[in-house]
Structures are given as structure tokens and as C-alpha cells.
């Protein structure tokens, strides 16, 4: 910019603030008191701007590294993994190590083999911070092909008399107790088509039409191609988050903890409420929430 252009800009600035910034002398120009004040303000603004940039750089460095999550196999596969997309985009320097297992995830946290755990069995107290973050409800379901072949069961007794079921028995959960509670006199042979220890196999069995099976209602939120059976055989499992107190102050782990809590927020995910919400009523509850809650709940942008 030429000297004339600079002088014109200064004149415009002086008119805007209503004060003279420079006095002209034969040997050049000098700042007036108003000019010194404006310069001081400009320097403070520049330093503040540098501070913001430095802080952003420090935060970027802090939100870098590896985070180890231990999670039950079903929640880790069907809920946590698909929702990691936005987290990964927001934090490209964080590596998420997701360990899915039907064993107790809190054991891995206690042994310092994981930073946080998400599970459906209440963690052992030990020295962990434990928080209940939601409730999962399981209900009987069947595929359309199964119903077309064997009919739609409408009562508990009808399932026992005319249908077959698939069960999941694992180190976590109460499937064995539930079976004995619901069918105390029924031998599994001839009634149970398959037993498995993992949620993915259970899901595949129900979707393929092998038998009736109990699935979490959040599966309907992610588009599971099965039909809920309106039979009074619904059971809740609390969802627990645990982590070691020392790790809660590590920025990247703290961010993941907060993210995990958000993913199970019953205000945006009615299937994780304490009270049972039928899958057919999900849309009604979502529409009753704040604007944009449907997209947020289903992970849509």
C-alpha cells in the first residue's frame, strides 16, 4: 500500500473513532494520547488472539493418543461402533481401541488394561468411579420369514407350545435365571433351537428366521429387520460406565467419557429410558423432544 493509501486509511479510522491519532511534524508523525491508547488495545487483542491459537494447539496435543474401551459385545458392535463416526471426525488424532467381549469389562479397567468400560452388569466397587448411564430393555422378536412360516406368537404359553427360541448364555447377563423364571418346567431340548455366548450370533439367528429371540429394543433404532412380539416377556438391564479416578482427568479420556454418556442419554434415546418404551412408540417420543433430536438420536447430521 502506498503512503497516500496509508494516510487515507488513518484519516478514515480517525473519523470513525472521533479522535486524532497522530500529530504531523516536519520529521514525521507522532502518536497522540488517543493513539497510544488505541495501540495498547490493539496489542492486547493481538496477544489474546495468539493465546487462543496457542490454547487450540495445546488442546489438539492433549486430545491425541490412544483410548482403550472395554465393552460388552452387543453394545460395542451394534451401538458404540456405528456412533464413533462423528467422534473420529472431530478427533482425528485419537486412536480408539475397542475391546468387545462377553467377559466383565470392568476387570480390564481394574487391571489397567482399559481406560473405561461400558457393560450391562454392575461393576464391582473396587477403586473405580461407577455411573449408571442408561437402561437396556430386551423383548421377544422374530423375523418376517419366521412369522410367515410358523405364525405370530401372541402369548407366553403359545411360544412354549408352538415355537422354538434361541438363547444367549454368557458370563454377563441373567439369561439362565430368566429362562428358569419364564419356563420353569420346560426342558431346553426340543424347545431351544440354539444357545450362543455372543450377541452377534443371537442377532443372526433371529434375523435369519431360526427361532424367536430376545433382542434389545435399541436394535429397532438402528433398523433391525425383525418384528417385536407384544408379549409380556420384557426385561431390563442397566448400562454401566466405569473408569479409574486418575484417568478421569486425562483430557482425551475425559472427552471419551463425556461422549459415552451422551450416546446413552435417555432424553435423546428413549430406548435407554428407565421405563420400557415400545419400539412402535419411538418416533412419538422423539418428536416430542427438542428440534433435531431425531437426527441426533439416530446419528444423522
Higher pLDDT, 266 or 171: 266
Look up the CATH architecture of domain 137-237. Answer: 3-Layer(aba) Sandwich (3.40)
pLDDT of 5 reads 66
* Ranges of each domain in the chain: 3-61, 64-135+238-270+282-297, 137-237
Kindly state the average pLDDT of the residues 112-134. Answer: 91
Kindly state the average pLDDT of the residues 199-208. Answer: 96
- Mean pLDDT: which of 20-29, 35-44, 242-251, 281-290 is highest? 242-251
**pLDDT over 80 at 210, yes or no:** yes
3-61 and 137-237 agree in CATH topology: no
What does pLDDT average to over the chain? 84
pLDDT range class, residue 194, cuts 50, 70, 90: very high
Higher pLDDT, 55 or 254: 254
Can you tell me which residue has the cell 482427568? 249
Instruction: State if pTM tops 0.75.
Output: no
**pLDDT over 90 at 71, yes or no:** yes
Topology classification of domain 3-61: Arc Repressor Mutant, subunit A (1.10.10)
pLDDT range class, residue 36, cuts 50, 70, 90: confident
Of the candidates 236, 237, 271, 234, the one whose C-alpha atom is nearest the C-alpha of residue 156 is 234
pLDDT range class, residue 126, cuts 50, 70, 90: confident
pLDDT range class, residue 46, cuts 50, 70, 90: low
Q: Which CATH class is domain 64-135+238-270+282-297?
A: alpha beta
C-alpha cell at 215: 433382542
Higher pLDDT, 226 or 289: 226
Q: Which residues contact 206 (CB under 8 A, 6 or more apart)?
A: 141, 142, 143, 146, 166, 212, 213, 215, 226
What is the C-alpha to C-alpha distance for residues 74 and 57, in angstroms, rounded to an integer?
Answer: 37
**pLDDT over 80 at 251, yes or no:** yes
Contact predicate 183/111, CB 8 Å:
no
H/E element, 131: strand 129-142
Kindly state the average pLDDT of the residues 174-181. Answer: 78
**pLDDT over 90 at 299, yes or no:** no
pLDDT of 230 reads 95
Higher pLDDT, 43 or 78: 78
Mind giving me the DSSP string for 198-237?
A: SHHHHHHHHHHTSSEEEEETHHHHTT-S-EE--SS--EEE
Q: Which of 83-97, 115-129, 219-233 is the least confident region? A: 115-129
> CB count, 10 Å around CB of 71?
24
Higher pLDDT, 146 or 171: 146
Indicate the burial class of 222 (C-beta count within 10 angstroms; 0-12, 13-18, 19 or more): middle
Kindly state the average pLDDT of the residues 37-57. Answer: 62
pLDDT of 55 reads 45
DSSP 281: G
Length of the chain as a residue count: 301
Kindly state the average pLDDT of the residues 202-229. Answer: 96
Amino acid at each position: 500500500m502506498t503512503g497516500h493509501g496509508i494516510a487515507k486509511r488513518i484519516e478514515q479510522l480517525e473519523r470513525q473513532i472521533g479522535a486524532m491519532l497522530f500529530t504531523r511534524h516536519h520529521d514525521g508523525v507522532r502518536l497522540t494520547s488517543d493513539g497510544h491508547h488505541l495501540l495498547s488495545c490493539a496489542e492486547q487483542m493481538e496477544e489474546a488472539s495468539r493465546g487462543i491459537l496457542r490454547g487450540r494447539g495445546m488442546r489438539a496435543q492433549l486430545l491425541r493418543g490412544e483410548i482403550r474401551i472395554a465393552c460388552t459385545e452387543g453394545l460395542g458392535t451394534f451401538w458404540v461402533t456405528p456412533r464413533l463416526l462423528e467422534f473420529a471426525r472431530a478427533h482425528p488424532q485419537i486412536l480408539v481401541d475397542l475391546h468387545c467381549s462377553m467377559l466383565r469389562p470392568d476387570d480390564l479397567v481394574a487391571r489397567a488394561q482399559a481406560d473405561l468400560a461400558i457393560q450391562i452388569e454392575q461393576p464391582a466397587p473396587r477403586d473405580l468411579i461407577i455411573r449408571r448411564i442408561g437402561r437396556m430393555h430386551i423383548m421377544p422378536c422374530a423375523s418376517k420369514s419366521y412369522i410367515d412360516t410358523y405364525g405370530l406368537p401372541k402369548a407366553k404359553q403359545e411360544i412354549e407350545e408352538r415355537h422354538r427360541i434361541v438363547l444367549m448364555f454368557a458370563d454377563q447377563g441373567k439369561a439362565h435365571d430368566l429362562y428358569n423364571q419364564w419356563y420353569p418346567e420346560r426342558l431346553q431340548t426340543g424347545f431351544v433351537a440354539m444357545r450362543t455366548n455372543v450377541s452377534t450370533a443371537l442377532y443372526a439367528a433371529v434375523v435369519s428366521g431360526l427361532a424367536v429371540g430376545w433382542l434389545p429394543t435399541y436394535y429397532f433404532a438402528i433398523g433391525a429387520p425383525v418384528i417385536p412380539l407384544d408379549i409380556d416377556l420384557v426385561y431390563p438391564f442397566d448400562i454401566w460406565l466405569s473408569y479409574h479416578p486418575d484417568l478421569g482427568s486425562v483430557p482425551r479420556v475425559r472427552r471419551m467419557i463425556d461422549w459415552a454418556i451422551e450416546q446413552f442419554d435417555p432424553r435423546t434415546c428413549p430406548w435407554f429410558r428407565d421405563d420400557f418404551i415400545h419400539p412402535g412408540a419411538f418416533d412419538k417420543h422423539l418428536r416430542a423432544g427438542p428440534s433435531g433430536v431425531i437426527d441426533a438420536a439416530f446419528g444423522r447430521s
